[in-house]
Structure formats: C-alpha cells, structure tokens
Structure 1
Amino acid sequence: MRIHLLIGPTAETSDRFRTILKKKHALLQKSGVLTPDWNHIRIYMACSDPEAVGVIRFKRGFASALAQKALHDEIGLQLTRAVEEEKPEHVVLANGQLGSMLTSRDELERLKALLNRVSDDIHITAHVDEQARVLAPHYANKVMEGRRHALDLELELAGQESWWTGALALRGENQPWFGLFNDIQYPAPWLDYEAMLANWEAVFGAGSMTLRPIDREKLLSEDAPEMIAEILGIDAALGKVDAGKPESQHSAVSVGRVRPFNDLLIRYMQAKEFSTPRDLWRVLTGELREPGPPIAPGSLSAVSRHFEASNRRLAKRFPDLADTLKRDRKLKDWAEEDGGKGFRASQYLTAFAHRIRNNSRPIAELEEEASQVNEDATHFDDVVADKHIGGGSRDEQQKVLDKLKVNHQIVLSTHIRPHNDMGRVNEEELAGAYDEVPMRKLPEGNSGNVIVGCMKNEAPYIIEWIAYHRAMGVDNFLIYTNACDDGTTELLDHLQEMGIVQHRDNNDWKGKSPQQHALNQSLNEPVIKNAEWIIHIDVDEFINVRTGNGTLEDLFKATKGATNIAMTWRLFGHNGVHQLKDAFVIEQFDSCAPKYCPKPHTVWGFKSMFKNISGYRKISCHRPNQVIDEKRPDIKWVNGSGRDVTEDYIKGGWRSSKKTVGYDLVQLNHYALRSAESFLIKRQRGRALHVDRSIGLNYWIRMDWSDFKDITIKRNIPRARAEYDRLMQDPKLRALHEAGLKWHKEKVEALHKMPEFQELYAQALKVNLTETERVAYALSLDMES
C-alpha cells in the first residue's frame, strides 16, 4: 500500500485537491483509494515542532505539548483503523501546511514515523510555479494575516548563497499573543524548491518526491479529477467536478496600507501589554483595503535571478517544470506602495483605538486564564475515574482523560467557546402571556399548517404537545407510530376519532429507518398534499415563536415571504427534576444550552418548516431534500432570526453555523431528556432490558444542558393549558392519558430495581459539568445520537 502526500506547498493546489478528494470519495474507494474524511491539517499540527507554536496550532487550541501528543496518537489510531477496515491500495492525504510549514528534519521524521504505522511506501508530490509568481500573492496574503515586515527581507535573501538557510536564520521565538509567528512574519524557506526537495528526500529517501507544475487551467476545470488519477497512477474514470474559481489577489496598494498598520498595531500591543483578537485585527485591516492591481511578479526579478540556476537543475530532473519555472518579463523593481490618499497608519490606529482597547485583553489575564485551565482540568479526573467511562483499563482511562483536558483547553481558547451573549431576546424575564387564538376554519381541500411526526411510547407527553401546537397555529397533525406498548397507539387512535390528528400504523416499515419510511409515505397523504406549511418535528420538540403573539402567523409575517424556515435547536436539560410527573414539559424544564455553542454539532442542529410549493422531492428528518431545479427561484430559506440563508441551505445541510445561526424570531425547544426518570425509559427503549451504561451516560452528558435560563416559551402556558383542558374534557382521552402515565411510572419503578439502570440513574445525577466542560467531553468521546 502506498501513501501519497500532496503537500502544496501553496494552498491553491492542496485546497483544490482536498475538494476533489471529498467529492470523489466513493469513486476513489472503488479504485482502492482511501481518502480520510477528517481534516488533513491535523497531520501538520501533530508533527510540527512542539516548542514552535505556529498560528494554526495557536488558533485551534493545540499549543500545549499534551494537546499535540493526544492529536498525534489520535491520528495514528484513525489511520491504522481506516487502513485495517478498508485495506486500500493507496492512501491520499492533501495538506499544504506539510509543504509550507514543516521545515526541520525532526518534524519530517515525526511525520514519517506517524505514517510508517501503516506503510513504508510513501511518495510526496509538490506543485510549484516560478518563485516570483508564487511570492507576490504569498507575501500579500501574509500581510493580510498580520505580517509587519516588507518584501525587503526577501530581496535581501536573493543576494545570499542559500535562500533556505537564510530564511530560517531570520526566525525567532513565536509570540502568539502579539501575532508574531515565524510562518507569517518571515520569508518562506520552501520557495527554495531544490532545498525543500533535498530536505524531504533526506528523510523519506531518494526519489520519494516529485515536483509537478501548477497547471491552473486544468486544476480549476471540471476535468481536474484527472490530475488525481495521474498523480496516483491509476486507470480510473473519476468524472467531473464543479469548476473552481481563481484565487483573488490583494491589491498592491492594500498591501502597502495594511503592512505598516500591522507593524504599528503590534508595537501598540507590546507597549500596552494586551492582545487584540485576530478576528478584530482582520476586520480593521479590511477597512484599509483599496482596489487596484496586485504586486507584479516581474517587479521581483531579483528573486527570479536568484533561483535561475537551481530551477534549471530541477527542470533537468523534472522536465515538465521547464516552462513553468520560466520567469516573467522584468519590470521596474518593487517598491512598497505608499497607500495613496495621504495614508498614514498612525491615523487609522488612532481611529480604531477605542475598538482595540474595548476588545483586547491584558496578557497577564490571558496567561492566568491559561494556568487556570490546567487547574480546572482536574475536575475531569473524577468523571473519568468512574469505571463506566473510558473503558476499564488505566491506560484507556488516561487516554480519555488526556483528550478531555486537551479539548477543554481548545474550547476555552478558540472560537468554539460557548456563551450566551447573542441575540435580542431577554430570555430570563417572563413577559406577558400570549393571547388565545381560535382555531382556523379552513376551506375544503386546505389542511393548513401541518405537523408530520413519528412516535414510540410517548403517551404521557402527547396531549400537552398537541394542545401547545394547536394553540399557536398548527391546524393538523399526521402521526406515525411503531412498536408502542404504553398506550400511545390507542391514545392517538382516539384523537383521530375526535378529529384532532390523523394516525398511521408504521409497524411494517421498510428501508433505513421507520422515520424515513413514514416521511416517504406521508407524501401520498391528502393532509400533506393539501397543506399550506409542512413541519416535521418530534414530540420532545416545541416550536417557540418569539415575535408578536407567538403564533405561526406572526412568524410568517416576520419572515417576509420565506418558503423555508430553519428552526435551530435549543437543548434543555433535566433542570434538577428527578421524578416523572404529570406536569407540562414546558413548565418543568427551563435550563438550557447557551445560544452560542458551535460544538458539539448536535447543539446547533435544526429542523425546518416549509411552504408547500413542491420545491423539493423528499422530506427527510431535518428538512426537505432533493431540490427541484425549476423551483429554485421560488425558494427562500431564512434562519430563526429571519435572515436569508438560501445560499447556505437550498441544496442541503441540517446544522446551523456561526454564519447562519439565529434565535430571535423562532427556536425549536428540544427536551431530549425531560426528567431523570424519563431518561431511564428513553435509554431502555428497544434495548431488551439491557443498557450500555457508558453510552447512556455519554448521551446524558451531551444533552443535559442546564447552564442558562430561557423561560420565553412559558408565555404560551395559559393558552396551551386552556386547549389542554378542552381536550381532556373527553373522558376516554383523559383515561388513556392516565393509563399511559401509569405505564411509564411502573416502568420507572421496575428499572430502579435493576442494578444497572439504578447505577446509570445515580451516576447521571452525580455529573456536574460547566458548559465548556460539557463541550470538551462531547468532543472527546464517540456519542450516540
């Protein structure tokens, strides 16, 4: 088995190859090619110099030696497992940082040792262009990332004997808090392709590396997959991909404005001993940019001359490089643009000073926080010490513990740190109760706003859920059930007799899941065909409209012609409620996850409601899928704050992101646990009276969000209660509800008497994690959905 490393060293090639590998994963797999689906940048982070914390490791929370070691072990395990399972002939890893940021022999030796776990046959491919043509956009990009030094450094290197040696000699100690990273601030050693080649082959062996020309026309074309087949030496028809777009280049005048501003900002931070967030830094420099032509490679002829001899030697070994390594026509020597319009960096620094001071943090505070993170990590010792977590052996538990501590550091030091500081809704003060709204009288052939859902053993919760949604504008319900033994089926049958819902037996489901079978069947139902809006949610999910009078009609008015509304989950924990009670779910549970919580991925999952315009062919668990092309112009997706997210979701996706999340108008309250006793029944369901306690506890930890209060849904309680009371006036319905509740209480009593369930119950209630610790835990273990 051969491992192929596509190492850039420019991002334009490695990023494009990563896209192709992802798109063609299945076809490559059929040809015996494994393309791991995790981010290959992790390989660079695992193998880079532990002491030299570069910008990527710093930004992603892998600055510590423990974090890097844990990542190295994890990648080794992932590679080994994937190769053992797939038994491929080829493994392809594409990451430009391997070529551009691994420069020492020690780093390459670490990389080789990691890969040797699965194969000794390793081949490296780098794609190159003439150095001045690469340097011009590379330098501009680094300035936009925070470089303070002008191109004078490169021009001085061009007069030295060895570019590689000279570039490395300029480097100092990284100072992350001030944005001082060698890979950003100083010349790129790898532009010396001959020295780069020698460095890699000294570790991986003579002939182990190939230099290929960057063929941008082919790389960005629909036929780009042919390049992958050629590199791998396989005869496989990989088809086409969407054409790529050329990299946009920063104007020379923008570079001339941003570069001196970077230098001034760095000196300002050092003088004030604080650190300005990189996101803010990027915003500020964005305001300095001006249109214009980019730096011309021909103005860097001194660099081109420096490499002429070595390029001839490279072209002799790799003949395809001959044309690529020819330099551009010489132009007037480069000189930094003055920024135009009387530009002075100091004026802009003065203008930005208020924003900088308000958003920057003292270095001492950051260092103290980092120290506190290590102390706080000891909390995980108690969690992992329990025999049900991390496996039985001490070694397994230590690996879990290391991952927890590392992930906790990552959570606290990166953009995934959860918080509740977003949105416009005051969630902790109860506003006035919503007014009752009479049920609509629909014309014949119109079923109105319809919920389609699936249930299994949910008898105690159904009437509240039905009453709540009827009171806020849902007209009809189509409910599928299978394998129920708690009275759910009988209760829904009677609700159908009352004209409240339509109930369908789903016991004979086929395919991947009973839920998808039900959704497929629902498309043939008149209640769905004649619906105005279709909503697919479960009985533990409540639509929480937070605008107007809290009705669907208010939401539709506020979302201005939307056809699809993505309702992001808000996960609610058990709120200290241990016992199963005959009380409203929305009244008992009001502690929840923070609004800003990008990880784990389930927190920002969403479900959707969509207008019945036949824009998609299929309903899936979270959304409609398979868009109909001729309907695309009619489709408008909005998020929970009413912002247009059509571009993000028209084709697919069921998770919100930093860009698309929103809760201001609507959110989906998700009560995955309810009470601790309800959780026991949920974990037992379908498990033949046996529970995997580690999976059960993992699920509890991932779902038991109890850090923040959100009582906004309680404005619905009076009208939901009124509708509930109207429904419960039916004596048979009341009796069926009470019978279902009795069944659940008897089930709980039986489970409490079983040692394994009682132990799970006690262990779950003992867990006490902060929101950051919960995220770290969820990221550390394989979770059950």
Structure 2
Amino acid sequence: MRIVVHIGVPECGAEAMQSALGQLRPELLRKGVLYSGAAGRSNHSRLYMAVSDPGRADPLRHARGFAPPPVQEKLRRDLAQELQAEAARHPDARLLLFSAPQLATLPDTAELERLRSLLAPLSGDITILAHLDEQARTLARFYAEALRHGRLASLQQELSLAESGAPWAATAIAGWGPVQSAHDCPEIQGIPHWLDYPALVARWQQVFGADKVILRPHDPTGATIPDQLCTLLGLKALRRKIAAPPADPPASAVTLARWRQLNAVLARVLATGRNVPRPLWRGLLAEASLPGPPVEAGGLAALSRRFQLENRSLVARFPDLANCLGPDGPRPAWAEPDPGFGFRATQYVAAILPAILEATTAKPAERAGMTPAAERLLSDKAKEILVSLKGNRFAPHDRIGPPSDVESAPFAETAPVPLPAGKTGKVILACMKNEAPYVLEWLAYHRQIGVDNFLIYTNDCSDGTDALLDRLTELGIVQHRPNDDWKGNSPQQHALNKALREDLVRKADWLIHIDVDEFINVRVGNGTLDDFLERVPDATNVAMTWRMFGNNRVETFEDRPVIAQFDHAAPRYCPKPHTSWGFKTMTRNSGAYGKLSCHRPNKRDPGAPVQWVNGSGKPMPARYHEKGWRSDPSSIGYDLLQLNHYALRSAESFLIKRQRGRALHVDRSIGLNYWVRMDWSQNRDVAIMRNLPRLAAETARLMADPEVKRLHLAGVEWHRAKAAELRDTPEFAELFRQTQAMQLDDLERAAMALALEIDG
C-alpha cells in the first residue's frame, strides 16, 4: 500500500477535492483506493491535530478540546490504532488517501516528522500533494476567512513584508509568539508563511523525499478534479459524475473592513475577561455585512512581484502550474475602504453586550464535577469527551435565539383558505406505522397553521392507524396510501419515490416531509406558515431545524396532546451530537429538484435558481443547495420557525417505538443509545403552547365524526395494552428501568452521545 497526503494549501479548493472524494468513495474503494474515514469524515483534521506542536495549540485544537499536550498525545495514539484497524479492514486497498489543508500550515519539520512517524506503520511510500494558486489571489481568500475567525491586522501586514525584501517564510514564522488563547493563534493573526511555495516544498521534501512532493494547479470550478484524481491514482476513468459544491460569493471589501473593526472591539472585550461565544461573534459579523466588490488580487501587486521569480522556478519544475501562478492584471493598489454609512463597530458590539454578559456569567460547561448518574453511566471515553467539551465551541448552551420559556397569548383559530383551481397548496407527505393515538393531534395542529393537504403512507399497522386514515380519507381530510409493498431498507424512501407520481404532489405549491412526532413551530404573526413565508418571499427551501424535546420524566402513556405534555428540550445551541441539529425541508414545488428524500430534496437541476433559508429567515450557505441535512453554527436559526421533534414522548411510548422499529433505516435498532441522543429535558420551551386552544377546537371538529372518534379511542386502548404487555417483558422492563436512570445534564448527554458515535 502507498499513501497520498493532500495538504491543501488553504483556500485552494480542498473542500471541492474532499467533496469529490466523498462522492467517489465507494467507486474508489472498488478500484483499490481507500479514502480514510478514521482520520475524519471528510476533512482529515484529526491527522493535523495529532501531529501539530504539542506546546503550541492551534485554533482547531483549542476548539476541539485537544489543546493540552496529554490529551493531544492520547488523540495521536488513538488515531494510530484506528488507522491500522482501518487498513486491516481493507486488505485489498493498494492506496490510502488523506486530505487536510491545515497540514500545509505546519511551520516546522518536527511536525512533519511526527506525521511521517504516524503514517510509517501503514506504508513507507508516502507522496505529498498540494494545490496552488497565485499568492495574491490566495491571500485575498485567506484574508476573508481569517477575519471570520477574529483576525485583527489588515492586508498591510503582508504587503509590508512583500515590499521589505526579507525572507518570507522565515520572517513570518519568526513572528509566531506564545499562544495564550485560541484568539491569538498565529494561524489567524500572523502572516501565512505557507504562501512562500518554494519554502513550503523544500520543507516537505526534506522530510518525505525530493521526488515525493507533487504540485497541481488550483481549479476554481472543480471541473478537472476527476481527471486529476485519475492521473494521481493511476486510474483509467471514474464512472460517476461528481457535483462540485457551490461556492459562497466572496465577502465585499467593505464588509471585510467592517469585520476587522468589529474584531478589534471584540478583542478588547475579551481582554476584560468577558466571554464572546463564536455563534454570537459570527452572527455579529453577518449582521454588519454589505454587498459590493471583493478585494481585487490585482491590487495586491506587491505580493505578486515578491514571488514572481520563485513562481517561475516552480513552473520550470511543474509545468502544469503555468496558468495558475500568473498574476492578475494590475489594479489600483489595495487600501482598506471606508466601512460606509457612518459605521461604528462599538455601537454594533454594544447591541450584543447583554448577550455577552449573560454568556460570561452563565458557564455551566465550566462546572468541575459531574452528576452521580454521569459518574455511574459514562464510559471512560465519554468522560474524556466531557472534559474536552468544557468551554469549547461544541459545548451545548441555551443562549441563542429568542426566549422560549415565556408563556404568550394564544394564537387565533384559522379557517381553510380556498385554493386556486388545479392547485393543492401546502402539502405534507408522511409515513406512519402504529401511530393511531397521535394522528388527530398532528393533523389538527398542522391544519390550523395552514397546511392544505396531507398524503400519508402506512405499512404493517396493527393498531388501527390505517383504518383511521382510511376514514379520514373518506371525509376528505387526508389521502391515505398503503405502503406494504415497500422494498429495500427504507419504507419511507420507497413511499417518497411513489409520491412524486401523485397529482396531489405534482400540483402542490410547497412540499413538506415530516413525521408524526414533528410539529412545525412558527413563532411570528399568528403562528401560520403564511406568516412565516411573508418574511421570506424569495425562499425556495426552508431548513426547519429540529429542537429535540425529551421525555420530561413522563413514564405513562396518556391520551393528551403531545405538545402539552412535553415542554423541555435540548438547548438551542447544540451542534453535537450530529442528530441534534438535523433539519427537515419545506420545498417550493418549482421543479428545481428531481427527488424527495427524508430530510431534503435532491437531484438538483443545475440551472434552476434556489434560495435556501433557515428558521430565522436568513440565507443558508450555498453548499446546502446540493447536499446536507444538518445545521451548523454558521447556518442555525430558530428565531421565526423551528421543528419541534418529540422523538420519545412517554417512556411507555418509547417501548412501543422500540418494538415497532424505524421507518427510514429498518436495519438500525432503537435502544438505549437512541434514548441518550434524544432525551434532552433541561431547557423549557413553551412557545408552541400558544396553539393549544385552536388545536383543541380543531381536534374536536375531527372527533365530531363518530367513526373517527371510535377509531382514535381504539388506537389509544391498543397502545395502553401494548405498553402493559411490554413492561411485563424482561427485555423491555430492563430498557424501561435504564431509561429512567439516565438523568444527565446537557453537557454529559452530549459527551455520552459523542462517545456512542465514536464507538459505533
């Protein structure tokens, strides 16, 4: 086996390369090429964190909790074992591939030696791959990204060095002082030493060999990636077409000037001992952004002149670099623009000062101990993760978004709105199995917030769900379809594929796929979908992010509204575990996508315009146009709409769900691990309860039909009997006991869930 390590460089297409490798992973493996999963899902940042200087923690290690040298050393040992196990699982692989653009930023050969030592047990044949673009273009992109992370210096920092004639890499690295915090890391604040490409190549050749460094041109479109991979990996062709991730438009030069001034004020705030969480910081930068032209690489001509001779020497050795290392045409010399409109960074920061003060005084993650339940239940791995989570950016907290624990005036009832001829309006598609007690509440709720039609598939029901839906179909409330003939691992996906042929779907204005344990919680106007859509008139897709509602220590199944029984949830800031910020999508039926999947539409028409927004009505990053089913700190938003997810309900209901199995992945069981990931019960959220009066009125209208009422009550009795039966079964009785003992706080739950993800 030989190894190829793709080291970036930063801002030269690593994300497109990693996206291509991820899409091609199965085909590559069939051809004997293993794209590592042990080093990370896509970007192999664990490889970088394991070998960087133990005494100088970079921003990534700070953020992930690996800053202390002993913790980093354990990461290195664990990763070494996992890489060897991964290689052993794939004995036919002839090539092992890694990708992490952070590796190019390692400043000294000692770190590269650690990387070689880590990989040596796998293979002694290691090739280094780097993609390059002309330094001025690369710096313009890097500058914007560094400002997003808190950079304080302007581009004059690099231009002054370029004009001085001093050795670039040596001078830049000499300025790397001791690191006191993640904010003052030289990777953010310093001059990027790796722009000196000849010095970069020499350093890697010194460790890995003179013939072991390959340079390739950066392709902004990503179109040449498959051909480059074939050449690099010795493959004839790759059959699968890849979709390059859409690039977000560059921030304007005026925006960057504003960001730098905001960073300076926020740095002074940090110096007083206050805490400014990253989501709050980034939200402020986004709020201050303005449209306009970006920084022009041609205005950084001093940098292009500085590297002109070195670039010529590289082109002589690597002719493919000829086009990418040519400078842009000359433009007026760069000068930081006026931020415009009387901008004052101090006023922007003053507006969020209350949130900063709250974040500073409320630090649950810094609690030294753990609850008795956590001491008893958490594995050693989970306890290690708990320590690393404390104070880092993945620690859950409830300090974003609008208040959710304040009771408000009830929403007014709504009446059905007549639809234009030939239209079916807003349509929910859903799949159900043994959900009879919950159907009427869910239907009544969503009818009151403005859903016009429902297409519901069922399979293998034994509690009367199918009969109840048949009666509701007769009354014109829903359209019910049997799905007992499903094939594959997903009855849900089988149903969604069939749904595309339905008139109800083809004639819809909006398509929404949610489950019966999910409620669209609109927080504006009268709490209807129209009230929300008025705020986002150009939206084509709405990412409705989950807020997980836990068990609330409710043991017994009751025939009462779910949204009234369960009012405690996950914290609003909960980036880990990965399920916490999953979203479902409300999609305008414009033909932009050719397939419906569980969380989002797929198979996008490349020429179709799309505008994704989050639950705060703000645009989502362009990468979501093609793929993605989870929000992250850059895309989360709950201000106007959230998706309340009641995955557990009562403990007895959970037992029934456990026996029933999953609709999406029937090959995955629901057990204690599922409970750990879903039982968030420390943060009160009663916003949805404004709907209770109109929910009661609409439910009464549905129950006015005697047959609907009879079938609903029959379903309730079936669930009561099934719960009693399961509680008398030893396996389920033990599961019930374990769930009730699982009393963890938010940080402990996140740590345990992350440990379960790592352990599989």
TM-score range, shorter chain: 0.7 to 0.9
User: What whole-Å deviation, never above 9, does each CA across 1:217-262 have from its counterpart, x for those lacking one?
Assistant: x6756224333333334443577875998997998x9999999x89
The residue correspondences of 1:615-764 to structure 2 (distance < 5 A) are 615-628=592-605, 632-633=608-609, 637-643=612-618, 650-686=625-661, 696-764=671-739
Partner of 2:104: 99
Whether the 8 Å CA contact 1:608–1:622 is kept in 2: the answer is yes
The residue correspondences of 1:13-28 to structure 2 (distance < 5 A) are 14-15=14-15, 17-28=17-28
Q: 1:222 to 1:192 in 2, by over 3 A?
A: closer
Provide the TM-score with structure 1 as the length reference: 0.78
The residue correspondences of 1:42-81 to structure 2 (distance < 5 A) are 42-81=46-85
Partner of 1:215: 217
Gaps of 5+ in 2: none
User: What whole-Å deviation, never above 9, does each CA across 1:180-228 have from its counterpart, x for those lacking one?
Assistant: 3344555666567676556545544x4462253x535x67562243333
Higher relative contact order (CA 8 A, sep 6+): 2
Q: 1:109 to 1:369 in 2, by over 3 A?
A: farther
Match of 1:767 among 723, 732, 742: 742
User: What whole-Å deviation, never above 9, does each CA across 1:731-773 have from its counterpart, x for those lacking one?
Assistant: 4433333332222222222222233322222222222233333
Gaps of 5+ in 1: 390-396
- Match for 2:4: what amino acid? H
Partner of 1:35: 35
- Match for 1:675: what amino acid? S
**1:295 is the counterpart of 2:295:** no
Cα distance in 2 for partners of 1:503, 1:127 equals: 54
Whether the 8 Å CA contact 1:578–1:675 is kept in 2: the answer is yes
- Match for 2:60: what amino acid? I
Match of 1:145 among 145, 151, 156: 151
Deviation, structure 1 residue 692: 13
Cα distance in 2 for partners of 1:526, 1:360 equals: 52
Match of 1:422 among 401, 406, 416: 401
Cα distance in 2 for partners of 1:31, 1:673 equals: 43
Deviation, structure 1 residue 580: 0.7
User: What whole-Å deviation, never above 9, does each CA across 1:406-459 have from its counterpart, x for those lacking one?
Assistant: 2x23xx321664324314xx5333333333334567788665544332111112
Q: 1:348 to 1:298 in 2, by over 3 A?
A: same
Partner of 1:123: 127
Cα distance in 2 for partners of 1:586, 1:402 equals: 36
Cα distance in 1 for partners of 2:270, 2:431 equals: 59
The residue correspondences of 1:171-570 to structure 2 (distance < 5 A) are 171-176=176-181, 179-184=183-188, 199-200=203-204, 203-204=207-208, 206-207=209-210, 209-212=212-215, 215-216=217-218, 222-237=223-238, 272=272, 279=281, 293-297=298-302, 301=306, 318=317, 320=319, 373=366, 375-376=368-369, 378-379=370-371, 382-383=373-374, 385-386=376-377, 397-406=379-388, 408-409=389-390, 412-414=391-393, 417-423=396-402, 426-439=403-416, 447-560=424-537, 562=539, 564-570=541-547
RMSD between superposed Cα atoms in Å: 5.0
- Match for 1:523: what amino acid? L
- Match for 1:89: what amino acid? R
Farther off after superposition, 116-125 or 672-681: 116-125
Whether the 8 Å CA contact 1:447–1:476 is kept in 2: the answer is yes
Cα distance in 2 for partners of 1:342, 1:461 equals: 54
Cα distance in 1 for partners of 2:695, 2:386 equals: 42
Cα distance in 2 for partners of 1:537, 1:51 equals: 49
- Match for 1:96: what amino acid? P
Q: 1:757 to 1:511 in 2, by over 3 A?
A: closer
Whether the 8 Å CA contact 1:46–1:72 is kept in 2: the answer is yes
Q: 1:750 to 1:95 in 2, by over 3 A?
A: same
Whether the 8 Å CA contact 2:258–2:289 is kept in 1: the answer is no
Partner of 2:118: 114
Q: Which has the larger radius of gyration?
A: 1
Deviation, structure 1 residue 707: 2.3
Q: 1:604 to 1:249 in 2, by over 3 A?
A: closer
Q: 1:463 to 1:31 in 2, by over 3 A?
A: same
User: What whole-Å deviation, never above 9, does each CA across 1:319-377 have from its counterpart, x for those lacking one?
Assistant: 75997999999x9xxxx98869899xxx98888885798787899x79x969x73724x
Q: 1:545 to 1:47 in 2, by over 3 A?
A: same
Cα distance in 2 for partners of 1:471, 1:351 equals: 42
The DSSP-based 3-state class of the residue aligned with 1:509 is coil
Provide the TM-score with structure 2 as the length reference: 0.80
Farther off after superposition, 184-193 or 652-661: 184-193
User: What whole-Å deviation, never above 9, does each CA across 1:106-158 have from its counterpart, x for those lacking one?
Assistant: x2333223223433322223456898998898789878833599459957996
Whether the 8 Å CA contact 1:133–1:297 is kept in 2: the answer is no
Cα distance in 1 for partners of 2:104, 2:187 equals: 12
Q: 1:57 to 1:745 in 2, by over 3 A?
A: same
Q: 1:69 to 1:369 in 2, by over 3 A?
A: farther
Cα distance in 1 for partners of 2:213, 2:238 equals: 23
Deviation, structure 1 residue 52: 0.8
Whether the 8 Å CA contact 2:262–2:345 is kept in 1: the answer is no
Whether the 8 Å CA contact 2:204–2:213 is kept in 1: the answer is no
The DSSP-based 3-state class of the residue aligned with 1:668 is strand
Whether the 8 Å CA contact 2:4–2:98 is kept in 1: the answer is yes
Match of 1:596 among 557, 563, 573: 573
* Percentage of matched positions with identical amino acids: 40
- Match for 2:688: what amino acid? I
